[in-house]
Amino acid sequence: MSLVATLESPLPAALPAGTDTALFVYGACGVPVEVSVDGMRHAAAWVRGRFWATVPVSAHAGEVEIAAVSGDAVAPLARIEVQAPPRPPSLGRPAPDGLIAICMATFEPDMALFRTQVESLRAQTDERWVCVVSDDASAPEHLARIRDVLADDPRFVLSRSPERLGFYRNFERALRLAPAEAELLALCDQDDRWHPEKLAVLRKAIGAAGLVYSDQRLVDAGGRVLRDTLWRGRRNNHTDLTSMLVANTITGAAMMLRREVAELALPFPDTPGLPFHDAWLAVLALAAGDVAYVDRPLYDYVQHRGAFFGSVTHGARPRRRRPSPRGSYFRGYVPRAVLAEVLLVRCASRLTPAKRTALRRFVRAERSPAAFLRLAARPLRVLAGRTETLGSESGLLPGLVWRRLARILRLDASLPDLLSFEQPRLRRWRARV
C-alpha cells in the first residue's frame, strides 16, 4: 500500500548534535497517520486530511528522519541534518573576569533613538562588558549609519545577517555571537535607554539564579514618562511556570542570564504561533532553575510608532479581531504546548517534580478533561489578586473546545492566519498609561 503525505509547516533544516527538543509536525494526508521519528511512532491528530503532532527528538549523529506512517506504509516527510554544534567566537584578547556580553538586535533603527541607546551603554558604571550587534540584513545605508554611531569603539562588534531573520531568530543569532569569555549575557533592544547602573545592579542581584530581570519605565521618544512601573494593573510573576507559559512577564531588555541558560535555550524552538525570544528565555530559565527580580526600573522602554507594541501608547484603540477558535488552538494553545514539550525533554534533569507536573498538565489539557478543567479554572485566580496572566487562559479555552469537536464535526483544520490569535486583556493592559 502506497502512502502520500506532505509537510505543510516547515521543520528545521539542521539541528546541533546533542540537542534534545520537540518538533511540531503538521501536514496533509488522505488517511489518519502516526508520525515516526527515526522509526519511533507517535500518535497524531487527524482531521479532514490534515495531521499534526508534537514529537520529541534527540539529535546525536547523522540525520533525523521524520515520516508519516499508516500500518506498514511509510511516507518520508523530512531528513534533518545533525551538525556539530557551533562554537562561540572568541574575543581574541584578554577579558576581565565576569565579562558581560550585551546582545543587541538591530534592523534599520531610528537613528536618534539608537544613538541614545548606544550612549546609555557607554555610560554604564559596570565597565566589564562587550556588545555584539546582530543586524538583521539592514539596507546598506542604514548599516553605514549604525557603523558611524558605533565608530571605532572596540567594545562593539557589528555582524550583519546575510538574510532577513525577524526579531525572534535575530536575537537567537545575537546570543550565538556572544564571545566565549562572557559569563553573563544581557539582551538589548535598539531603541531603549538604559540607566547607568543597570548592568551593575543586575550582576549583583543574579545570585544563584539562572536569570535576573528588573522593572522598567515606559517613556515616549522624547523621554516623557508614561508609566513609572511596568506593573500598574498587573501582578509581576517569576515563580509560577504555568502562568509564565500562558502570559510572559519578563521582557528581553530587562533580563540578564547566565551562559549555561543561554546555551540550554539554543536552538530556539519552532512553533506555529508568533514567537517571542523573551517568552522562550523566560519560561526556559524558570523551568531550569530560579529567576530573580529587581524591584526597580533599570531602563526606559521607549514607546514609539516604529516599535512592535509602540502604537498602544499613542492613543490608538487596540484593533479587535473576530475570535477564531481554530486560531486559539493552532496559534494560541499549540505554540505554548510545543514549548512545554521542549522543556520536558531539554530540561528533564533540572525540572522539579512540581514543574514537571505543571508542564505535563498543560500538555494534557487537550486530551484530559481534568487537565482542561484545571486550566479553565485558572482565570478565577484574578479574584484573589493573582493577576499575572489577567485571566488570559480563557483565550485558550475556545481552541481546546474546537480541538475536541474538530474530528466529530469534520471542521476545517488548516492553519489559520498567524495573527488569528491575540490576548486582548494583555493588549489593553499594555495600552494603559
Write out the chain's pLDDT in tens, 433 residues: 689 999 999 999 999 999 999 999 999 999 999 999 999 999 999 999 999 999 999 998 899 999 999 999 999 999 999 999 989 999 988 889 999 999 999 999 999 999 999 999 999 999 999 999 999 999 999 999 999 999 999 999 999 999 999 999 999 999 999 999 999 999 999 999 999 999 999 999 999 999 999 999 999 988 899 999 999 999 999 999 999 999 999 999 999 999 999 999 999 999 999 999 999 999 999 999 999 999 999 999 998 766 555 444 444 444 556 679 999 999 999 999 999 999 999 999 999 999 999 999 999 999 999 999 999 999 999 999 999 999 999 999 999 999 999 999 999 999 999 999 999 999 889 887 6
Which contiguous run of DSSP H or E holds residue 345? helix 334-346
Contact 41, 35 (CB under 8 A): yes
> What's the residue count for the chain?
433
Q: Give which of 12, 7, 26 is closest to 334, Cα–Cα.
A: 26
Radius of gyration (C-alpha) of the chain in whole angstroms: 22
Give CA 159 to chain center in angstroms.
22
Contact 77, 25 (CB under 8 A): yes
- Cα torsion at 270, 250, 117, 307 (round to 10°)? 60
Q: For residue 141, give every residue at least 6 positions away whose Cβ sits within 8 Å of its Cβ, in sequence order, or none.
A: none
Kindly report the backbone phi and psi dihedral angles of residue 415, in degrees, each rounded to the nearest multiple of 5, phi listed first: -70, 125
Q: In whole angstroms, give the CA distance from residue 355 to residue 385.
A: 22
Q: In whole angstroms, give the CA distance from residue 335 to residue 404.
A: 18
Give CA 244 to chain center in angstroms.
11
Could you list the beta-strand ranges (E) of 136-224.
Answer: 156-160, 184-188, 193-194, 211-220
Q: Which residues pair with 20 in a beta bridge?
A: 58
Contact 339, 374 (CB under 8 A): no
